[in-house]
Amino acid sequence: MKKFLAIIMVVILSVTLASCGAKEKEKETTNSGTKFKAGTYEGTAKGFGGDVVATVVLSDEKIEEITVVGSKETEGIGSIAIETLPALIVKSQSVEVDAVASATVTSNAVIEAITKALKSAGVDVSTLVAVQDDNTDKKEEVIDVDVVIVGAGGAGMTAAIELKNAGLNVLIVEKMPMVGGNTIKATGGMNAAETSVQKELGIEDSIETFIEDTMVGGYNVNNRDLVTVMAEDSAEAIDWLESIGAPLPEVSFSGGATNKRIHRPEGGSSVGTYLVEKFKTNLDSLGVEVMLNTTATEILTNNGSVVGIKAESSETNYVINAKAVIMATGGFGANEELYTKYKPELKGYVTTNTPGATGDGIVMAEAIGANLVDIEQIQIHPTVEQTTSIMITESVRGGGAILVNQSGKRFTDELLTRDVVSAAVIAQEGSYSYIIFDQLLRDNLSAIEKYVDSNITVQGNTIEELAEQINVDPKTLAETLTTWNEAVASKNDAEFNRTTGMDNNTSVGPFYAIKIAPGVHHTMGGVEINTKSEVISKDGTAIPGLFAAGEVTGGVHGANRIGGNAVADIVVFGRVAAKSAIEYIK
């Protein structure tokens, strides 16, 4: 009997174990059938200005959502990587995506932060196979408007505000995921002459001097008629900006300007981000539609007249019929292949441009017969921090900063035209220099806070302490600063004959330095326009229905652009293009 019971117990135990094993095997099969461990995970990586934090939401089968925060990344460059890469990774279900051009460091930080989040969920990212994008099922859509504007930078948004206020149905097409274009990178301000602001501040200036400064700065390659329009309309443009809630109440010096002419926001904040925010607020309140992530691919014509564009997003191909088209696509300073075609010596230079500045509008306009002017004229900016591509605004030198070389000595008038100062920097040992300024300048120019936040400044309580930190002879740098301060006091720079930006000496500690060298900054050439912003064909006649404004055009700046003239260009000619389009339509 005992033996029989023992056999029964063994059988029961075997059945139980087999059942448990079957359930465990079933559990294993269920688990192996899921791709991820569902949940929310976080990863952090080091970007330009600080930490980039990624939050990744996983279901059992896919990456559902990714949010990335990096508030201190460079606006218009790193910020675009933060905007675009998470969506691309969700779409492809893989971290194997291309970095955003000109934003490699931030792109790598975004990808690294997302990878760390995935790894914390137990995901082996090397096993994630990218989902292939199939565009064969893209939708087709036709849109009818009065005016379509290609490009949501400063010129495009200015034109849109004017057109909408005139009662026209206007649409902006922008290939990037955000508005602003290269305008968002502008730091100094807007040149304008005989303005109400200058008069209130007791600054004497004239339209004629503005014209001559611009012509001389551009080596008289400029189209004088276009320069005259920019100068003559600049004061009204300053008043117009104030009327839309974007006043520029402060005035300072910029390189190549005879008088104080560069208008900037209160406190000296960067003019670009300020204006883009104000323009966007106006577009929203007016109800202007901006189609982001939508790339214009072709300008449409009928019997020689422009009648719209073709464009595409990731899901839709568009035909946008319009009575007029305004090209405001910017220049090609982020397209190394294109700018080295005209200036091979610029290969390998960093660029201050946003990733969207690739010259698309110039190529499209040329394809329908537009003439190009000054296309080989490409400007390098003298003061660019090389590891971040952050441009140090001319307002720093305009406020009294100096440039010193590795020996701790000044080597040029810091406020000569950009090409001249760039050449002077390149001629120094190592082809770099330091821009030196003090706490008083920092207190009076809020744009400097961006440089401090981005960790590109070096600080010393005394000028000797600063010299030690940048490996410059302390005695030499102190002597250089003493000589400079004496020049400011006497208003006589015996060394380099500098006559502007000498209102304040450099004597209030702590002292600051930023290591700089030139970088590709502005492309002065583009499609030819006349004083009505009409695009000119190769046969010298205006192309009916096609207008252009901003860096997509050539002729305004000649062989070298003066600091502050880009913003004047986009606001003045953005308004001119809008008015001409209205006249053409009506």
Residues 329, 313: Cα–Cα separation, whole Å? 17
- Provide Rg for the chain, Cα atoms: 29
Task: Copy the structure tokens of residue 150.
Answer: 């290609």
Contact by Cβ (8 Å): 556, 226: yes
**Distances, alpha carbon 411 to alpha carbons 414, 425, 431, 483, in Å:** 8, 8, 12, 13
Residues 101, 87: Cα–Cα separation, whole Å? 16
Single-letter amino acid code for the residue at 45? A
Residues 304, 54: Cα–Cα separation, whole Å? 51
> ω into residue 510 within 30 of 0, thus cis?
yes
- For 286, list phi and psi in degrees, rounded to 5: -85, -15
Residues 529, 371: Cα–Cα separation, whole Å? 9
Beta strand 316-327 with 139-150: parallel, antiparallel or unpaired?
parallel
Contact by Cβ (8 Å): 70, 54: no
Residues 445, 433: Cα–Cα separation, whole Å? 21
Strands (E), 303-456: 305-312, 316-327, 372-373, 378-385, 390-391, 402-404, 433-438
Residues 553, 534: Cα–Cα separation, whole Å? 10
Nearest Cα residue to 532 out of 578, 470, 485: 578
The DSSP call for residue 180 is: B
Nearest Cα residue to 548 out of 568, 521, 528: 528
Find the catalytic residue in 397, 410, 418, 561.
Answer: 418
Number of C-beta neighbours around residue 576 at 10 A: 27
Task: Copy the structure tokens of residue 339.
Answer: 């700018």
In three-state secondary structure terms, 454 is coil
- For 419, list phi and psi in degrees, rounded to 5: -65, -40
- For 490, list phi and psi in degrees, rounded to 5: -90, -5
Mark whether 418 is an active-site residue. yes
Residues 551, 362: Cα–Cα separation, whole Å? 10
In three-state secondary structure terms, 269 is coil
Provide the annotated active-site residues: 418
